[in-house]
C-alpha cells in the first residue's frame, strides 16, 4: 500500500539536508511525498527584515526549492513566508495552525521534521509545533514521527544530543540527494564547511558505516504506531 509522507522543514534546503535521500527512496517505492517549508530564508542576513529589498532573491530561492525537490520526484512543495530565523517572534499557535492545516490537507502516514535540540531557533520552533500538531488524537492519520539532523546546525548545538536510533539505507539514492543539493547552490558552502556537498556525503557514509551499509540517513524516532504484529 502506498504511504503518504510529509516533510515539514523550517527553511529551503533543510528538507534535502535532513532527509533528501530518504525522500527519494520513499518516492522510488511508490510513496507520495509532500514538503512544507515554513520560513522564507535569506532575510536574516540583514540587520532588519526587509522582504522588498530581497524580493528577487526570495523568488529565486523559492524556484530553487521547487527545482531541487523535483529532482527527487516530490509530489508537492508548499512554501510559506514566516520570517527567517525570527520564528520566536511569531505566536506559537499561528505556527501550529499552519502545520495543522497542511496535515489536514495531506493526511500523511509518516512525518519527518527537525530535531528539537538544534542551534537554529526556527528549527526548534518547527519541532515544537509539529509535535503539538501531531498529538495522537483518535482519527489522526500520522502513524510515525521522525526527527532529522541538519548539517551545520544540529551538530553545532552544545551539547550535541542528536543520537540516531532509526536508520534508512540510502546507498542507492544518496546521489539524488547530492544532486538536489547542487540545485541549492546559493545555500551550500565550500568544503570543509559542514554544509558542503562533500561534508554531507561524508556524514551519510558515516551514518551508513554505523549500521553496516554504504550510506544512510539517521533519525531520532519520536513515535510510531504498530497495529499489526
**Residue 53 in this model has a pLDDT that exceeds 70:** no
- How many structural domains does the chain have? 1
**For residue 57, what pLDDT is reported?**
86
61 is a domain residue: yes
Q: Across residues 155-171, what is the average pLDDT?
A: 98
Q: Which three cell numbers stand for residue 195?
A: 554544509
The separation between the first and the last C-alpha atoms of the chain, rounded to the nearest angstrom, is 17
Q: Across residues 197-221, what is the average pLDDT?
A: 98
215 is a domain residue: yes
Q: Which three cell numbers stand for residue 83?
A: 520570517
190 is a domain residue: yes
What is the dihedral sign for C-alpha 58, 82, 141, 147?
positive
Q: What is the pLDDT of residues 72-120, one digit of tens each?
A: 999 999 999 999 999 999 999 999 999 999 999 999 999 999 999 999 9
Distance CA 10, CA 136 (A): 22
**Residue 171 in this model has a pLDDT that exceeds 90:** yes
**Residue 56 in this model has a pLDDT that exceeds 90:** no
C-alpha closest to that of 57 among 72, 69, 45, 68: 45
**For residue 130, what pLDDT is reported?**
98
Distance CA 48, CA 51 (A): 10
**For residue 47, what pLDDT is reported?**
60
Distance of CA 151 to the CA centre of its chain: 11
103 is a domain residue: yes
Q: How confident is the model at residue 55 (pLDDT cuts 50, 70, 90)?
A: confident
Q: What percent of the chain has pLDDT over 90?
A: 89
87 is a domain residue: yes
Distance CA 34, CA 102 (A): 10
157 is a domain residue: yes
- The CATH number assigned to the domain holding 171 equals 3.40.50.10320
Q: How confident is the model at residue 43 (pLDDT cuts 50, 70, 90)?
A: low
The mean pLDDT value of the chain amounts to 95
Q: How confident is the model at residue 41 (pLDDT cuts 50, 70, 90)?
A: confident
Total-model pTM = 0.96
| C-alpha atoms less than 13 angstroms from C-alpha of 214 in its C-beta half-sphere | 7
132 is a domain residue: yes
Burial (CB count within 10 angstroms: exposed 0-12, middle 13-18, buried 19+), residue 78:
middle
229 is a domain residue: no
**What is the residue range of 79's domain?**
4-224
- Residue 91 or residue 59, greater confidence: 91
Backbone region of residue 225 per phi and psi (left: phi > 0; alpha: psi in -120 to 50; beta: other values): beta
Q: Are 101 and 69 in contact (CB under 8 A)?
A: no
| C-alpha atoms less than 13 angstroms from C-alpha of 151 in its C-beta half-sphere | 26
Amino acid at each position: 500500500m502506498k504511504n503518504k509522507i510529509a516533510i515539514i522543514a523550517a527553511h529551503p534546503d533543510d528538507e534535502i539536508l535532513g532527509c533528501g535521500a530518504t525522500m527519494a527512496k520513499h518516492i522510488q517505492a511508490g510513496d507520495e511525498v509532500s514538503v512544507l517549508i515554513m520560513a522564507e530564508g535569506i532575510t536574516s542576513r540583514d540587520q532588519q527584515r526587509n522582504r522588498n529589498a530581497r524580493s528577487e532573491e526570495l523568488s529565486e530561492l523559492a524556484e530553487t526549492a521547487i527545482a531541487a525537490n523535483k529532482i527527487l520526484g516530490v509530489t508537492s512543495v508548499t512554501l510559506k513566508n514566516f520570517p527567517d530565523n525570527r520564528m520566536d517572534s511569531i505566536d506559537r499557535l499561528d505556527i501550529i495552525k499552519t502545520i495543522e492545516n497542511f496535515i489536514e490537507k495531506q493526511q500523511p502516514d509518516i512525518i519527518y521534521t527537525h530535531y528539537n535540540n538544534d542551534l537554529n531557533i526556527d528549527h526548534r520552533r518547527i519541532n515544537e509545533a509539529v509535535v503539538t500538531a501531531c498529538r495522537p488524537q483518535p482519527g489522526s492519520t500520522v502513524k510515525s514521527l521522525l526527527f532529522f539532523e541538519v548539517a551545520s546546525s544540529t551538530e553545532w548545538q552544545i551539547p550535541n544530543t542528536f543520537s540516531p536510533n532509526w536508520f534508512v539505507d540510502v546507498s542507492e539514492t544518496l546521489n539524488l540527494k547530492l544532486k538536489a543539493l547542487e540545485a541549492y547552490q546559493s545555500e551550500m558552502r565550500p568544503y570543509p564547511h559542514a554544509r558542503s556537498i562533500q561534508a554531507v556525503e561524508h556524514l551519510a557514509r558515516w551514518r551508513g558505516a554505523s549500521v553496516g551499509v554504504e550510506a544512510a540517513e539517521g533519525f531520532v524516532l519520536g513515535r510510531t504506531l504498530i497495529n499489526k504484529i
